Amino acid sequence: MPGRLQGQLILNTRPAHQQAELSSLLELEGAQILSFAVIDIVPHESAITRQRLVQQVSDYDILLFVSRNAVDNAFRYIDSTRFKPGLCFGVIGTATRLALAQRVAQLDSCLLAGAPYNSETLLEADALQRVDGKRVLILRGQEGRNLLGDELTARGAEVDYCEVYRRELPNWALSDFDRLVENAFPTLVILTSNEGMHNLFELVAPAAAERLRRIPWLLISERMRESALKLGHNASIIIARSASDEGIQQAICAWADQR
């Protein structure tokens, strides 16, 4: 029996080291996958980063991880034996929770909020309503959003940021994408950030960009939909309820079932 995605040629634009699981899930449903990373994740090396994570991590009452990349890169330096007793954790994203659970024993007992793991749910957590005098460290990528920090500062917390990775434009030539699609053009594109969406259009030639605007896109937020329309996208948009690999797979399969 053919899978629900039989006949679909899907462009997976996740960072290269995060593509395998999603591609496998979609292939199990019958899709073919083209891999074209539009963001490179690079560790952010600085004296401040090392000092915060090696020497000062024991000073904090709460650690908030905004992505699985934040977990992976922060724990290049963190020694969990230095954690303050009673330390609480917050995460954004199911993949982030899973990555942190591999490094923190009995994580669920010290997680601030449950699913869905997003900024809004995290800020509603009981433990983050009364944070006057608490020290909070937010682990994130370079130039990340300040929503969490701004709100927690307004509630009286002392908030520091630690940027543990950078997002960079991959070193593709315009001809690389043309070669990738010379035998068949994608029927759907997966895009998981506004930055990745803009990067895609920097990495492809104008003719390819115009064709990409005319095929369905899988996005992970309504905020991304607005950006897609500003870029001239003119086809179906699928919004995944979750940015996890499983959430993306489910959204694409539901879309395919309705066609």
Residues shown for the chain: 259
Check pLDDT > 90 for residue 93. no
At 140, give phi and psi (nearest 5°): -155, 180
CATH number of the 9-39+170-258 domain = 3.40.50.10090
- 146-182: per-residue pLDDT in tens? 889 999 999 999 999 999 999 999 999 999 999 999 9
What mean pLDDT is reported for the chain?
A: 93
Model pTM?
0.86
Alpha helices by DSSP H, listed for 14-93, are 20-28, 47-50, 68-74
Q: Smallest Cα–Cα separation from 240: which of 68, 94, 96, 133?
A: 94
Comparing 52 with 257, which gets the higher pLDDT?
A: 257
Tracing tokens 């959204």 back to the chain, one arrives at: 251
252, 10 Cβ separation under 8 angstroms: yes
Rounded to whole angstroms, how far apart are CA atoms 172 and 50? 31
**Beta-ladder partners of 91:** 65
65 CB burial (10 A radius; 0-12, 13-18, 19+) = buried
- 96-149: per-residue pLDDT in tens? 999 999 999 889 899 998 888 888 889 999 999 999 999 999 999 987 778 899
Three-state secondary-structure class, residue 147: helix
| Third-level CATH fold of 42-167 | Rossmann fold (3.40.50)
Rounded to whole angstroms, how far apart are CA atoms 24 and 31? 9
Helix axes 94-101, 245-258, angle to 10 degrees: 150
The predicted pLDDT at position 204 comes to: 98
Tell me which DSSP letter residue 42 carries.
E
Same fold across 9-39+170-258 and 42-167: yes
Residue 42 token pair: 């690079």
- 36-92: per-residue pLDDT in tens? 999 999 998 888 888 888 889 999 999 999 999 999 999 999 988 889 999 999 999
115, 90 Cβ separation under 8 angstroms: no
Tracing tokens 């010290």 back to the chain, one arrives at: 110
The HSE-up count of residue 21 (CA atoms within 13 Å, CB side) is 10
The full set of domain ranges for the chain reads 9-39+170-258, 42-167
Helix axes 20-28, 245-258, angle to 10 degrees: 30
Q: Exposure string (b/e) for 87-125, b if CB count within 10 Å is 16 or more?
A: bbbbbbbbbbbebbbeebeeeeebbbbeebbbeeebbee
Check pLDDT > 70 for residue 1. no
When pLDDT is averaged across residues 5-30 and rounded to a whole number, the result is 96
List Cβ neighbours of 255 (8 Å cut-off, separation of 6 or more): 216, 218, 236, 238
Rounded to whole angstroms, how far apart are CA atoms 152 and 159? 7
- 191-244: per-residue pLDDT in tens? 999 999 999 999 999 999 999 999 999 999 888 999 999 999 999 999 998 888
